[in-house]
Amino acid sequence: MNPLYASLLRSRIAAAVAEAKTIQPVEHNGLRGALREMVVRQLLHPLLPPDVGIGTGVVISAAGQQSKQTDIILYDKNLIPPLLLADQGLFPIESVLVSIEVKSILTQSELLVAHRAAELLNTFTILPGLYTEAGEPIQHTQISPPSALIAFGSDLTASTELERYQRLLVGSQQELGVICVVSRQCVVWNSTKWLVHPASEDHDELVAFLAVILNTLPGIALTRGRPRMGKYLT
């Protein structure tokens, strides 16, 4: 990474973490969570390419499937447009590139909720994006939007988030692709194993989180082709 670029990015991360700690005393959980979502947006928004939007809301499919409320949705502006009210709304699965859950303090129950939300999203039907000249759909690989989780604290004292998630996964399939706990660690599933990025004073765990999210966007977008909006209307 370019040293100047890296220094500016790390300074933004430090400021965002400091802001998150400042709002920790806010007693209303909903407000505290909303403020933390704003912090994550402050980190992500300046780094996103112009064709990627950021919002919050519900992911839907043309088959009638609906996700739970999702904290942060990164979507491709060039595909089927979301129906937005300000930055909240309904996001067609074909345009969704990454979904992110934000937690103030990560607990076992919160981790399970995020896991189940990711599991549900992976069952969504995605419309084809390639067609013949006659308008017939062409079979091609479609990748479900990966799900990530970021938390600004944890109730764990004797183990790591990866160990807790692995215990939770006994008998079930891994669904979350990235789990980042500020000042602790960021773990990333690379399709065969977990990669662990320890925390540092310069917040290497958050740098890893941002890098993985940003590196994922182009590959997901390439699998989508040009899905047609008509299935949502008729």
Residue 21 has pLDDT above 80, yes or no: no
Sign of the CA dihedral with 73 first, then 76, 79, and 83 last? positive
Confidence at 6, pLDDT banded by 50, 70, 90: confident
Is 72:99 a contact under the CB 8 Å cutoff?
A: yes
Query: What end-to-end distance do the CA atoms of the chain give, in Å?
Result: 48
| Interatomic CA distance for residues 182 and 209, integer angstroms | 10
31 vs 193, which has greater pLDDT?
Answer: 193
Confidence at 27, pLDDT banded by 50, 70, 90: low
Instruction: Kindly list the domain boundaries of the chain, sorted by start residue.
Output: 3-227
Range name among 1-15, 30-44, 90-104, 116-130 with the lowest pLDDT average: 30-44
Question: For 167-185, how does the pLDDT look when each residue is reduced to its tens digit (9 = 90+)?
Answer: 999 878 899 999 999 999 9
Question: For 174-213, how does the pLDDT look when each residue is reduced to its tens digit (9 = 90+)?
Answer: 999 999 999 999 999 998 899 999 999 989 999 999 999 9
Range name among 13-17, 113-117, 198-202 with the lowest pLDDT average: 13-17
- pLDDT confidence of residue 1: 61
Q: Which tokens is 8 given?
A: 């500016």
Average pLDDT of the segment spanning 106-129: 95
Number of residues that make up the chain: 234
Is 83:48 a contact under the CB 8 Å cutoff?
A: no
Scanning the structure block, which residue is given the tokens 């802001």?
A: 19
| Interatomic CA distance for residues 209 and 179, integer angstroms | 8
Confidence at 26, pLDDT banded by 50, 70, 90: low
Scanning the structure block, which residue is given the tokens 């491709």?
A: 76
Q: Which tokens is 128 given?
A: 């084809």
220 vs 132, which has greater pLDDT?
Answer: 220
Residue 85 has pLDDT above 90, yes or no: no
CA–CA distances in Å: residue 176 to residues 114, 122, 188: 8, 10, 9
Average pLDDT of the segment spanning 59-84: 94
| Interatomic CA distance for residues 207 and 7, integer angstroms | 11
119 vs 103, which has greater pLDDT?
Answer: 119
Confidence at 29, pLDDT banded by 50, 70, 90: low
- pLDDT confidence of residue 132: 86
Residue 23 has pLDDT above 80, yes or no: no
| Interatomic CA distance for residues 82 and 91, integer angstroms | 4
Average pLDDT across the chain, whole number: 89
- pLDDT confidence of residue 114: 96
